Amino acid sequence: MKTNDLIFQTVTKTAVFIIIIYSLHLFFSGHYTPGGGFIGGLMTASAIVLLLLAFDIKTVVNSLNIDYIKMTATGLLIALLTGVGSFFFDVPFLTHTFSYVDLPVLGKTSLATAVLFDLGVYLVVIGVTMTIIQTIGETE
Amino acid sequence: MNNLIILPIAIPLFAGIILIFFNKNIRIQRWLSVIASLAGIFFSCIIVQTVHINGIQTLEIGNWKAPYGIVIVADMYSSLLVLTTSIIAFTSLLFAYSTINVEREKFFFYPGVQFLILGVSGAFLTGDIFNLFVFFEVMLMSSYLLIVLGNSKMQLRESIKYILVNVISSALFVITVAYLYAVTGTLNMADLSVRIAEMGQSGLLTVISLLFLIVFGLKGALFPLYFWLPGSYQAPPSVVTALFGALLTKVGIYSITRVFTLIFYHDPSFTHQLLAWLAALTIIFGVIGAIAFWDIKKIVIYNIITAVGIILFGVAANTPNAVEGSVYYLVHDMIIKGALFFLAGAIIAITGTSNLRKISGLMASHPFLGWMFFIAALALAGIPPFSGFVGKLKIVQGGFEAGEYTISFIVLLSSLLVLYSVMKIFINGFWGEPKPEMANQKGSAKGMLLPIVILLTLTVAYGLGVEWLSPYISQAAETLLDPTIYIQAVLKE
């Protein structure tokens, strides 16, 4: 028997975008305010979990079409490469740097290589969480 | 070069990540992992040589000064262990190619091995006690994967026990680090040593040191905390047991050695005496297990426990000879345990059983394997031309110098029983008439022999080339005996 969850699905369609935007906000604000890669990644994953709850696994897998294990590996690779990058500047492993840049819309912004490391964390957290949930969900 | 000593950590990490992308392509996986482990051997050789010439190498991660950031420290002790780890990793991979089945290979076996190597090398190289915890966890989580991969009934049952014990000991590790941080206010090992020397090792700090002994004793299988080891190590395939037996308990031993020679060395009459007696009991219970069983894998597993006791007795006696002997013996034991587990794995692959009563007369069909096992048995027991001899000799000599006559005799007696336990395998398994039911089982050990040959060659070379090795080993022992060398290298004051 299929239940009619029209309200749930309609609300989800709007709420998922709000959650993802909030998680990106948390991700980018990590340097100066509470937040960062870990919490941002968890919140993005929670948006996908909401999709999984509102629709079935097949729909979500088909519409997003992401291999979460590869996503985890990509995140690890990004984090490692930000560390290895320091080899070329003759400074110790994982030395990070930053500079102030005038961006067209945002104005004077500080860009730090630590954000790239955080991007790695962000991808790993999403990848691991979704791998766990999808694997358990698909097991008969 | 500045970043040289991070390479034993960065290479397996990089290889592990890349291997995840190619998890269905076994050919690429095999080539990549063997290239990575060869690179590991190459760079750890360079590190050993650099440390030998220029003294202790340190790397301040992220360019933060010593007590504030994480420091990677390669002294001779840890660089020798890292080199041995890469050799074991290389031979294990060679052994895995002919023994591990395709399902396991496709399901992230090789990335698991790489992350295990990453954790072990990291634990050897780090100079920060909380970072040590993190590398312990990296190592343990990979070992959880390797122990359960293949999900046979026995593996599932034993992995639950293994994970339970290790989760508890990890929690205890965090609690202990929290106590230590509350008392001293620092996590850097060199800085810890300085502060404890300044404030004197009070009763509270001695309690914390004993908590560390319990934590690392659980990881390194010290009496009475070894109860989880025999079952857990029997469950996974031989190559995984070889990796575990050669590497995991040794990280526990390394940590005990580091903590009690660098940080808590001020009250030896209590802490080191306790360690010595625990080591003696570990030896006794290890040999009892080794002579009691008729299962090949069990016998070798109990020999791990005996070796843990012998190495730690060398540390506890704390005389120059004893410490030097325990460094000799630790490196020897990693190599020989790898070889013995490979040999046990080859015998099990040929006969299809690990029960010694069902095997006999293997010498007729596999003479080369038989003589290799004979050499490995002699090396394990410490017969002079082979590698186990010098370490045990120095440990016993140091034990006599420290006045620990009883325990030194226990060490000597244990060699006899260890020899008996492995000769039991040799005499019952290789001698005698081939059993009729074994005639139709013509399993072959092809491909498994190469890694065993490599490790045994190393064992023989290690035993014969002691003269050539001794400057390296005594440099390692020197740092362990005099913490100020380590502290000055890290804090640079």
Express each pLDDT in A14-60 by its tens digit: 999 999 999 999 999 888 899 889 999 999 999 999 999 998 888 88
Q: Is A91 on the interface with B (CB under 8 A)?
A: yes
Determine, for residues A80 and B60 on separate chains, whether the beta-carbon distance falls below 8 Å. no
Residue among B215, B468, B477 nearest B322 (CA): B477
Give percent of chain B with pLDDT exceeding 70. 98
Determine, for residues A94 and B10 on separate chains, whether the beta-carbon distance falls below 8 Å. no
Which phi-psi region, left, alpha or beta, contains residue A35 (left: φ > 0; alpha: ψ -120 to 50)? left
Determine, for residues B2 and A95 on separate chains, whether the beta-carbon distance falls below 8 Å. no
The whole-angstrom separation of Cα B323 and Cα B394 is 8
In tens, the pLDDT along B285-335 reads 999 999 999 999 999 999 999 999 999 999 998 899 999 999 999 999 999
The model carries a pTM of 0.94
Give percent of chain B with pLDDT exceeding 90. 73
In tens, the pLDDT along B14-25 reads 999 999 998 888
The whole-angstrom separation of Cα B106 and Cα B89 is 19
Q: Is A69 on the interface with B (CB under 8 A)?
A: yes
Determine, for residues A80 and B63 on separate chains, whether the beta-carbon distance falls below 8 Å. no
Please tell me which residue of chain B has the smallest CA distance to A73.
B17
Determine, for residues A93 and B6 on separate chains, whether the beta-carbon distance falls below 8 Å. yes
The whole-angstrom separation of Cα B52 and Cα A126 is 45
| Least confident among A71-75, A89-93, B457-461 | A89-93
Among B2, B3, B18, pick the best mutation site for testing chain A contact (most A Cβ within 10 A): B3
The whole-angstrom separation of Cα B460 and Cα B378 is 11
Determine, for residues B3 and A93 on separate chains, whether the beta-carbon distance falls below 8 Å. yes
Q: Which string of DSSP letters, residue by residue, matches B170-239? A: HHHHHHHHHHHHHHHS--BHHHHHHHHHHH---HHHHHHHHHHHHHHHHHHT-TTS-TTHHHHHHSS-HH
Determine, for residues B60 and A92 on separate chains, whether the beta-carbon distance falls below 8 Å. yes
Cα-based distances in Å from B204 to A35, B12, B180, B207, B210: 37, 39, 9, 5, 10
Q: Is A72 on the interface with B (CB under 8 A)?
A: yes
Would you call A77 exposed, middle or buried from its count of C-beta atoms within 10 A (0-12, 13-18, 19+)?
buried
Determine, for residues B20 and A96 on separate chains, whether the beta-carbon distance falls below 8 Å. no
Q: Count the Cβ atoms, other than its own, within 10 Å of residue B443.
A: 15
The whole-angstrom separation of Cα B239 and Cα B348 is 12
Task: Assess whether pLDDT exceeds 80 at residue B440.
Answer: no
- Which candidate from B20, B23, B62 shows the least CB-CB separation from A94? B62
Task: Assess whether pLDDT exceeds 60 at residue B391.
Answer: yes
Please report residues of B whose CB lies closer than 8 A to that of A120.
none
Q: For chain A, first and last CA: distance in Å?
A: 19
Which run of H or E residues covers position A103?
strand A98-103
CA distance B2 to chain A (A): 7
Residue among B88, B55, B71 nearest B458 (CA): B88
What length is written for chain B? 493
The whole-angstrom separation of Cα A67 and Cα B22 is 13
Task: Assess whether pLDDT exceeds 60 at residue A1.
Answer: no
Please tell me which residue of chain A has the smallest CA distance to B12.
A80
Q: Is A76 on the interface with B (CB under 8 A)?
A: yes
Residue among B14, B78, B92 nearest B47 (CA): B78
Instruction: Show which residues on chain B lie within 8 Å of chain A, measured between beta carbons.
Output: 2-3, 6, 10, 13-14, 17-18, 20-21, 23, 59-63, 72
Tell me the count of A-B CB pairs closer than 8 A: 45
Among A71, A89, A93, A128, pick the best mutation site for testing chain B contact (most B Cβ within 10 A): A93
Q: Which string of DSSP letters, residue by residue, matches B13-81? A: HHHHHHHHHTTT-HHHHHHHHHHHHHHHHHHHHHHHHHHHHH--EEEEGGG--TTTS-EEEE-HHHHHH
pLDDT value of position B493: 63
The whole-angstrom separation of Cα B198 and Cα B183 is 13
B459-490 as b/e: b if 16+ CB within 10 A = beebbeeeeebeebbbbbbbbbbebebbbebb
Among A80, A87, A94, A123, pick the best mutation site for testing chain B contact (most B Cβ within 10 A): A94
Task: Assess whether pLDDT exceeds 60 at residue B437.
Answer: yes
* Average pLDDT score over chain B: 91
Cα-based distances in Å from A93 to A86, B48, B63: 6, 20, 8
- Which candidate from A80, A94, A96 shows the least CB-CB separation from B14? A80
Please tell me which residue of chain B has the smallest CA distance to A113.
B62
In tens, the pLDDT along A74-130 reads 999 999 999 888 888 888 888 888 888 888 877 787 788 889 999 999 999 999 999
Which run of H or E residues covers position B318?
none
Please tell me which residue of chain A has the smallest CA distance to B107.
A69
Determine, for residues B62 and A76 on separate chains, whether the beta-carbon distance falls below 8 Å. no
Residue among B449, B103, B95 nearest B243 (CA): B95
Q: What angle do CA B179, B183, B184 make, to 5 degrees?
A: 115
Beta carbons of B433 and B360 less than 8 angstroms apart: yes
Determine, for residues A91 and B63 on separate chains, whether the beta-carbon distance falls below 8 Å. yes
Write A11-16 long-range contacts (CB < 8 A, 24+).
A12/A50, A12/A51, A12/A53, A12/A54, A12/A55, A15/A47, A15/A50, A16/A47, A16/A50, A16/A51
Q: Which string of DSSP letters, residue by residue, matches A18-82? A: HHHHHHHHHHHTTTTSS--HHHHHHHHHHHHHHHHHHS-HHHHHHHH---HHHHHHHHHHHHHHH
In tens, the pLDDT along B230-280 reads 989 988 999 999 999 999 999 999 999 999 999 998 888 888 899 999 999
Task: Assess whether pLDDT exceeds 90 at residue B176.
Answer: yes
- Which candidate from B17, B60, B62 shows the least CB-CB separation from A76? B17
Determine, for residues B61 and A86 on separate chains, whether the beta-carbon distance falls below 8 Å. no
Task: Assess whether pLDDT exceeds 90 at residue B353.
Answer: no
Task: Assess whether pLDDT exceeds 60 at residue B215.
Answer: yes
What length is written for chain A? 140
Helices B466-481/B449-464 angle, 10° precision? 80
Residue among B185, B69, B67, B16 nearest B491 (CA): B67
Which alpha helices (H) appear in B244-295, and where do they start and end? 249-258, 268-292
B28-46 as b/e: b if 16+ CB within 10 A = ebbebbbebbebbbebbeb
- Which candidate from B2, B10, B20 shows the least CB-CB separation from A84? B10
* Side-chain half-sphere exposure of B407, counting CA atoms within 13 A: 32
Which run of H or E residues covers position B263?
none
Task: Assess whether pLDDT exceeds 90 at residue B140.
Answer: yes
Q: Which amino acid is at A11?
A: V
Q: Is A57 on the interface with B (CB under 8 A)?
A: no
Q: Which amino acid is at B425?
A: I
Q: Is A94 on the interface with B (CB under 8 A)?
A: yes
Determine, for residues A73 and B61 on separate chains, whether the beta-carbon distance falls below 8 Å. no
In tens, the pLDDT along B71-115 reads 999 999 999 999 999 999 999 999 998 888 888 888 899 999 999
Beta carbons of B96 and B113 less than 8 angstroms apart: yes
pLDDT value of position B183: 93
Please report residues of B whose CB lies closer than 8 A to that of A80.
10, 13-14, 17
Beta-ladder partners of A102: A108
Beta carbons of A80 and A72 less than 8 angstroms apart: no
Confidence class of residue B13 from pLDDT cuts 50, 70 and 90? very high
In tens, the pLDDT along B273-299 reads 999 999 999 999 999 999 999 999 999
Q: Tell me the average pLDDT across B131-160.
A: 93
CA distance A6 to chain B (A): 39
Determine, for residues A86 and B59 on separate chains, whether the beta-carbon distance falls below 8 Å. no
Determine, for residues B20 and A92 on separate chains, whether the beta-carbon distance falls below 8 Å. no
pLDDT value of position B139: 95
Which run of H or E residues covers position B443?
none
Identify the residue with better confidence: A105 or B377.
B377
Q: Tell me the average pLDDT across B198-216.
A: 91
